[in-house]
Chains A and B, each alone.
Chain A
Amino acid sequence: MKNITDLLGKQMLFFDGAMGTMLQVSGLKPGELPELLNLSHPDLITSIHKAYYDCGCHIATVNTFGANACKLRETGYSPEQVISAAVSCAKAARSLSDNPDEKFVAMDMGPIGRLIEPMGDLSFDEAYALFAEMAVCGERAGADLILIETMGATYEVKAAVLAAKENTSLPVFVTCAFDASGKTFTGADCEAVAALLEGLRVDAYGLNCGLGPDELYPVIRRFSEISSLPLIFNPNAGLPKQKDGATYFDVDPASFASSMRKAAALGLSVMGGCCGTTPLHIREMITACREFPAQTVCDKGITLVSSYTHAVRIGETPLIVGERINPTGKKRFKEALKNDEISYILGEGIAQQDAGAQLLDVNVGMPGIDEPAMLVKAVTRLQAVIDLPLQIDTSHVDAMEQALRRYNGKPLINSVSGKEESMRAVFPLVRKYGGTVVGLALDDSGIPATAEGRVAIARRIIDTAAEYGIPRKDVVIDGLTLTVSAEPESANVTLETLRRVKKELGVCTTLGVSNISFGLPKREIINSVFFTCALSAGLDCAIINPKSEAMMNAYYSYRALCGCDAGCGDYIARYSAAPETSAPKPAEAMSLKAAIIAGLNDVAASLVREKLTSGGVTDPMELIRDELIPALNEVGDGFEKGTVFLPQLLMSAEAAKASFEVLKEVLAGSGSDEKIGRVILATVKDDIHDIGKNIVRVLLENYRFDVIDLGRDVPAETVLDAVKKYDIKAVGLSALMTTTVVRMEETIRLLRREAPGVKIFVGGAVLTEDYAMQIGADAYCRDAMASVRYCQTIFGCE
């Protein structure tokens, strides 16, 4: 019996065609689980596998697409029973077919059918456990490989691949479903999928389902241009159509074969069919494609890092890595980390993306913080709101591993050094989870004073990475920026290192640019000039502050000058409409109160700053009392009377928040920034709609309440734990659907029993005053202002 990896890449291999289509012809009804037929009609399943083997296909896909514990829950059968029966059917068919030594049985794992957080309600770990159970059962039953197929969500792919690789020794093939736009349904393009799967070191990957071979030809062609691994192509026989109430697929066997022949010429390793294909389709395809040589699999040498939607290619044009998510030297950031203010971190990320960053560095290391937990939280929350690839920046190996595991894509990893201990700890993680790693040109002896020394360390890092199976394309060297005011030669050494790393080692480069100017006045001036020099010396990834106008001016100018900006298009787009720099618009004409009512964030913030610096206001509390609160009250009253509408109410809230942020800098540590009281907010268990709860949070925060937002889909026990932990007086619960109001009632019941003193206010589209009382709430709040008013009553500050 051969191993499939012995043949992969050496000859063209063929998958079978559809199982579901064949079962529907045999009478499977909509909504019935096809996997149960492995137990009730094993002969039927075996005969379908046999028909495909007889056509000449090498791999039978076992009838286990949806055999996960989640989908089987109400059937009375376990995955073990269903999978064991399914694999037996395929093995029986193989034993009845010709040349069984070159025929293989693929354990099939399709999507769970629920999206993983944050897009859905399934946790990454739950998804992993469901796939792990399937994979283990498949291997135990005797499958030869694992096929993870029809995947539309990259996070689910990652959970499935890790589950298969960590729990079995079987080869892993993966195919994703793409639409005509070349994206999966969660928006991942070919590059994002290729980067993720090559990083995870699957054995072969490609696409299946979705559309017919002609519609998917551009997608498989794109994969053939970028892929360094064996490719799989298993399209549908077109799209499902209906005639006289029956479903059919419109690509006949001859057309299918002809289209697949065209695709085979691209250089593929494995071909087969998905929905609508039959043994006839597969027979004709094999006849048309069998003489094609197997794909020449070679490393394309492309350095990709990715998010869940797209990849960025390092080395083509210089890239900006936003440096602001890092507490070093930032008082406000440290305070946010200490107080678990994740929204502050998200705000920093979004602002950097808006300013032009193509990647974001994420560093949350600080004394006294649980770095693994905080890094995972920052990464998962950032990837819920930002689609940029992340650079996971930590020296804490456990934090690095946990963050890499939960990252939805292929990250940059910052960093490994030339120290043996560092390489021993970091490289196995890079190999396992995928990633492009930043190699720091330092070792146990410190940072060499010469470019020669730094290049030598870089070479050692690249060579050692290769021993771990990490190709040189996935190592980016940081030649290290030192402070020029302390070491006058350091800038030259760094620039020389950059040039030599590019020339002698042929790998990509990165630098934390702004380190150069520590201790100097007007740092932006020297930073931007050094940045230009570094770009000129071959810098690929610049870790900078993208909100710095001077740095971005240098960046866009350099790209235009060095031919990286076709027709100076980006430069023109950025600067042609920009007004000439002039003095800031005087804001004196408007009062702070008026600015907040009008929802003008910038004006409000600058007014506060001005009043505190030159406007004669000595007590910040005076501003809160005389301007901010009256403004909020006026807008709130208007909202209650129906003359101000929700977006306007929130715009005012945001302007007030911008003002509070300025005040916070002044009040920090003075003890004056006291909150009225602490309130918990949560959307109840099973409910994933949280916009209403988020609106309430924004307003409560503006009225100086300290809000602990537990998020959505929150179990009753979690609410209770938080009530006890924070000694809470008031809890706000939200539920949108009739089905989840039941969970609200359960939560209230638990709180009444275990925390009888707590006041509970509720809201949500399906609730009414009567119903709220019926389920035991203290108050029904029909909108966000009503929640504010109720909390003011509880805390005695009406």
Chain B
Amino acid sequence: MHEVTPGKWYSDADIGEVLRYSGIRSAEDCSGAMLDEAVSAVGQVGEASLPKCITRECSLVIDGDVCRVDGMAFRSASLAAHLSGCERALLFAATLGSGVDLLISRYSAVRMSYAVLLQGAAAALIELYCDRECAALEQRYAREGCFLLPRFSPGYGDFSLACQHSLTGALNAYKYTGIAVSAGGQMTPMKSVSAVIGISRTPKGQRGGCASGKCADCPNTDCIFRRV
């Protein structure tokens, strides 16, 4: 019971994460029926998704608050601090595809309670997908004796959302993944991630600052989705 169909790319989805993104603190707070709905939401989102990802390795020069990535300049003190010590970085973009947006819209029209669970499932699955892609990248760079920093996305700290345009543009993300940036600087499909990933020679444990990329490192302690 309450298990995602095995053998799918999304089989490892953490139902606890799905519930957390849906506004439910933990599995103990909801009924078996609700858990079944959450599992079903994961299956539907997984089947509606066409996950795609693209990366590009770039040179990196940090000049005060400015990170120069292959000639592009991102002005952000938090990004500069995060990438400190790195000489290269990966630009990264991933998406679950527009089918997931349409699935959520469909249920928003007729059954909002389920749409909220789908939204939670989609949030959990894009994280799962990104983590898996990044784990593969980490293995690749480990062979060169390098370590990858956690993903740092526009919108974190003072890394402006406006940088989404140039970041996805440099990746040719629309052509290869279908990720577009709206006039307001928002990515579509909605369950998409863009990020800069530092490539470091220093093992994670020996670096200060954001090491895991998870809630414990984040200064936004009021966040309603913060893991307790």
Interface residues of A (CB under 8 A from B): 29-31, 110-111, 113-115, 118-122, 150, 152-153, 177, 179, 181, 183, 185-187, 209, 240, 242, 245, 247, 309, 343, 346-347, 350-351, 384-387, 599, 645-651, 653-654, 685-691, 694-695, 698, 713, 737-740, 743, 765
Determine whether B110 belongs to the interface, using a CB cutoff of 8 Å to chain A.
yes
Q: A177–B170 contact, CB under 8 A?
A: no
**Least CB separation from A29: chain B residue:** B71
Take A31-B71, A350-B110 as given contacts and tell me if A179 and B188 are in contact as well, using a CB distance cutoff of 8 Å: no
Among B34, B97, B184, B186, which residue has its beta carbon within 8 angstroms of that of A185? Answer: B97
Tell me, rounded to whole Å, the shortest Cβ–Cβ distance linking A631 to chain B. 15
Q: A653–B30 contact, CB under 8 A?
A: no
Q: B175–A177 contact, CB under 8 A?
A: yes
Q: B184–A713 contact, CB under 8 A?
A: yes
Among B57, B110, B175, which residue has its beta carbon within 8 angstroms of that of A245? Answer: B57
What's the Cα separation between A1 and B180 when bound, in Å?
Answer: 40
Tell me, rounded to whole Å, the shortest Cβ–Cβ distance linking A158 to chain B. 16
Take A385-B106, A645-B25, A650-B116 as given contacts and tell me if A185 and B98 are in contact as well, using a CB distance cutoff of 8 Å: yes
Take A181-B50, A343-B109 as given contacts and tell me if A739 and B104 are in contact as well, using a CB distance cutoff of 8 Å: no
Take A31-B71, A245-B57, A654-B112 as given contacts and tell me if A686 and B98 are in contact as well, using a CB distance cutoff of 8 Å: no
Contact digits for B84-109, partner A, Cβ 8 Å, 1 yes 0 no = 00001000000001110110111011
Q: A118–B52 contact, CB under 8 A?
A: no
Q: A646–B50 contact, CB under 8 A?
A: no
Tell me, rounded to whole Å, the shortest Cβ–Cβ distance linking B25 to chain A. 7
Contacts of A695 in B (CB 8 A): 112, 116
**B41-71 interface with A by 8 A CB criterion:** 50, 52, 55-59, 70-71
| 24 A-B residue pairings within 8 Å (CB atoms) | A30-B56, A111-B174, A114-B181, A114-B183, A118-B102, A119-B98, A177-B175, A186-B99, A187-B99, A343-B109, A343-B110, A347-B110, A350-B109, A384-B105, A646-B23, A646-B24, A647-B114, A650-B113, A688-B184, A688-B188, A690-B108, A694-B115, A737-B184, A737-B185
Q: A687–B58 contact, CB under 8 A?
A: no
Q: B170–A30 contact, CB under 8 A?
A: yes
Q: A30–B58 contact, CB under 8 A?
A: yes
What's the Cα separation between A462 and B103 when bound, in Å?
Answer: 39
Contact digits for B166-177, partner A, Cβ 8 Å, 1 yes 0 no = 100110001111
**B179-198 interface with A by 8 A CB criterion:** 180-186, 188-190
Determine whether B162 belongs to the interface, using a CB cutoff of 8 Å to chain A.
yes
Contacts of A177 in B (CB 8 A): 175
What's the Cα separation between A499 and B69 when bound, in Å?
Answer: 70
Q: A247–B119 contact, CB under 8 A?
A: no
Contacts of A687 in B (CB 8 A): 184, 186
What's the Cα separation between A524 and B37 when bound, in Å?
Answer: 34
Q: A685–B23 contact, CB under 8 A?
A: no
Contact digits for B149-177, partner A, Cβ 8 Å, 1 yes 0 no = 00000010000011000100110001111
Contacts of B59 in A (CB 8 A): 245
Contacts of A247 in B (CB 8 A): 56
What's the Cα separation between A95 and B184 when bound, in Å?
Answer: 45
**Least CB separation from B225: chain A residue:** A765
Tell me, rounded to whole Å, the shortest Cβ–Cβ distance linking B53 to chain A. 12
**A121-B182, A686-B183, A713-B184 are known contacts; what are 15 more A-B pairs with Cβ within 8 Å?**
A118-B105, A152-B174, A183-B50, A185-B178, A186-B97, A187-B97, A242-B56, A384-B105, A647-B116, A649-B113, A650-B112, A650-B113, A654-B112, A698-B112, A740-B186
Among B71, B119, B185, which residue has its beta carbon within 8 angstroms of that of A739? Answer: B185
Take A119-B189, A384-B105, A653-B112 as given contacts and tell me if A645 and B56 are in contact as well, using a CB distance cutoff of 8 Å: no
Q: B184–A186 contact, CB under 8 A?
A: no
Q: A688–B52 contact, CB under 8 A?
A: no
**Least CB separation from A646: chain B residue:** B23
Tell me, rounded to whole Å, the shortest Cβ–Cβ distance linking B215 to chain A. 16
Most chain-B CB neighbours within 10 Å: which of A120, A343, A387, A713? Answer: A120
Q: A738–B23 contact, CB under 8 A?
A: no
Contacts of B25 in A (CB 8 A): 645
Q: B184–A152 contact, CB under 8 A?
A: no
What's the Cα separation between A141 and B108 when bound, in Å?
Answer: 48
Among B37, B99, B111, B115, which residue has its beta carbon within 8 angstroms of that of A691? Answer: B115
Among A689, A698, A738, which residue has its beta carbon within 8 angstroms of that of B190? Answer: A689
Contacts of B166 in A (CB 8 A): 31
Contact digits for B27-39, partner A, Cβ 8 Å, 1 yes 0 no = 0011000100100
Take A645-B25, A688-B184 as given contacts and tell me if A350 and B106 are in contact as well, using a CB distance cutoff of 8 Å: yes
**B204-223 interface with A by 8 A CB criterion:** none
Determine whether B72 belongs to the interface, using a CB cutoff of 8 Å to chain A.
yes
Contacts of B15 in A (CB 8 A): none
Q: A186–B182 contact, CB under 8 A?
A: no
What's the Cα separation between A651 and B31 when bound, in Å?
Answer: 13
Tell me, rounded to whole Å, the shortest Cβ–Cβ distance linking B50 to chain A. 6
Among A179, A385, A737, which residue has its beta carbon within 8 angstroms of that of B52? Answer: A179
Q: A599–B185 contact, CB under 8 A?
A: no
Tell me, rounded to whole Å, the shortest Cβ–Cβ distance linking A167 to chain B. 24
